[in-house]
A and B are shown apart, each in its own frame.
Chain A
Amino acid sequence: MKFSDFVAADAIRSHVDARTKEGVIREMAQSLVDAGSIAAGDLESIVKAIMKREDLGSTGIGRGVAVPHTKHPSVSRLVGTVAVSHDGVNFESLDGEPVQLFFLLVSPPDRPGDHLRALENISRQLRDETFCRHLKSAKGPVDIQHLLEEADSHGVAS
Chain B
Amino acid sequence: MTDATTREGEARVADIRESMSEQVVSREVVVGMLQGLHARPADQLAREARKWQSRIELLSDSQRVDGKSILDVLTLAAEAGTRLIVEATGPDAREALEAIGSLFDRNFNDQENNESR
Contact = CB atoms under 8 A, between A and B. Distances in A.
Interface string A107-118: 000001101110
B14 interface: no
B74 A115 contact: no
Given A62-B70, A69-B39, A123-B71, A112 B34 contact: yes
A60 B74 CA distance: 14
Interface string B23-46: 000000000001111111001000
A8 B71 CA distance: 23
Interface string A53-64: 000110101110
B75 interface: yes
Interface in A9-43: none
B49 to A, nearest CB: 13
A112 B40 contact: no
A94 B79 contact: no
A126 interface: yes
Contacts of B72: 123, 127
Contacts of B74: 61, 119-120, 122-123
A119 B39 contact: yes
Q: Which of B35, B78, B80 neighbours the largest number of chain A CB atoms within 10 Å of its CB?
A: B35
A6 to B, nearest CB: 14
A112 B117 CA distance: 15
A117 B74 CA distance: 9
Given A127-B71, A127-B72, A67 B77 contact: no
B76 interface: yes
A59 B38 CA distance: 11
B48 to A, nearest CB: 13
B70 A116 contact: no
A124 interface: yes
Contacts of A56: 40
Contact of B78 (A59, A61, A116, A124): A116
Which 5 pairs, one residue from A and one from B, show the smallest C-beta to C-beta distance?
A120-B77, A123-B74, A123-B71, A112-B35, A116-B77
Given A116-B77, A116-B78, 11 more contacts: A61-B71, A62-B71, A112-B36, A116-B36, A116-B37, A119-B74, A119-B77, A120-B74, A123-B70, A126-B71, A127-B72
